[in-house]
Amino acid sequence: MKRTPITFSNSLRRNKAIASIAVKEYEELLQSMDSIHLSKTAPLDWSAIRQQHPPKSPNREFHNEQKAFMYLVGYQPAFLIKTLQLTEARKRHLKKKVEIGRATDEKVYAVAIRKYTAALTRWQLWQLMSVGVQEKNPQVYQQVIDYVKPFDALESLGIRVVVDSKPDSISLDLSIPGESLMPRYALSLTPKGELHKSMLSASRANELFRDFVCGCMIRAAREVIACLPVADVQVRVSTDRLDADSGRVPWSAIAAVTFAAAELQEPDLDHMPANHVVMRASHQMRFSRSLGFAVLRD
């Protein structure tokens, strides 16, 4: 096979392609962080869940055994089989086919029973949870959250979510590792298509983190509203903040907001910047572009 010689121009093209991919991935990262509040789970209809019928138990079927048995009963040996005195051997083989068919039917039925049992267990669990949700039972609220796992997307980013349930509201504590999650550099392409890397300005970094924090608060609250019929969701955020003097990264509370369920269900929410949504709700948050978030004082 003829190999393409490695030349300066080939290497340059590869470097430009790599640079283009790096910038594209960087822009996609910024877009995903800026729009994290736009994704949400489809709401659970607890009334419809309560009215669901239990799954039907499977019927035992004998298709494979019956097919093999009918072939055995109707078997008429050919002349050559009779001549070679192979009739009995052929019948024994067909009887074995009946046994194999019976075993196959048993396996099919066993699989159906396992699926039915799992479906019945799920149905029973959803029924119990629907009753508890209707009764506004905080313990059942927690059970629903544990089962549905609405915070998987946030937790996959390293965000820790602690839930406290009350009959009419849910409180969430979000721990957002800003030091490890947020980009420190900006990537762009030069007019020649080469990769340019520069340190993010403090104001730009602070704005990115503000929008991400606000987006996470909205996303977490919307996930709760999709799962549970509570009146409001209270979200408090802590983050790791680099102390320039000590070099340590202590955790500090930086924002708290209470979202009414009706606010999170407004149709224009998806067209608003995340920080505007938070500022419109009842909140505690002090932020400046130059200094970032101020620590909340209890």
pLDDT band at 6 (very low <50, low <70, confident <90, very high): very low
What percentage of the chain exceeds 70 in pLDDT?
Answer: 88
**Whether the Cβ atoms of residue 252 and residue 236 lie closer than 8 Å to each other:** no
Identify the pLDDT of residue 247.
Answer: 53
| Structure tokens that stand for 215 in this block | 């987006």
227-278 residue pLDDT tens: 999 999 999 999 987 555 555 567 889 999 999 999 888 878 888 889 999 9
As a whole number of angstroms, the distance between CA 275 and CA 217 comes to 10
Q: Please report the DSSP string for the chain in residue order.
A: -PPPP--HHHHHHHHHHHHHHHHHHHHHHHHHHHTGGG--PPPP-HHHHHTPPPPPPPPP--HHHHHHHHHHHT----HHHHHTT-HHHHHHHHHHHHHHHHHHHHHHHHHHHHHHHHHHHHHHHHHHHHHHHHTT-HHHHHHHHHHH-TTHHHHTTT-EEEEEE-SSEEEEEEEE-HHHHS--EEEEE-TTS-EEEEEPPHHHHHHHHHHHHHHHHHHHHHHHHHH---SEEEEEEEEE---TTT----EEEEEEEEEEHHHHT-GGGGGS-HHHHHHHSEEEE-EETTTEEPPP--
> What percent of the chain shows pLDDT beyond 90?
47
- The mean pLDDT of the chain is 85
> Stretch 13-40: mean pLDDT, rounded?
80
Q: What is the pLDDT of residues 40-89, one digit of tens each?
A: 788 999 999 999 999 999 988 888 788 877 766 676 777 676 676 767 67
What is the reported pTM? 0.80
17-21, 123-127, 250-254, 283-287: least confident range: 17-21
For 211-227, the pLDDT digits (tens) are: 999 999 999 999 999 99
Q: Quick one: average pLDDT of 136-141?
A: 96
The closest of 270, 273, 224, 275 to 254, measured between CA atoms, is 275
- pLDDT tens digits for range 176-223: 988 778 888 888 888 878 788 888 888 888 899 999 999 999 999 999
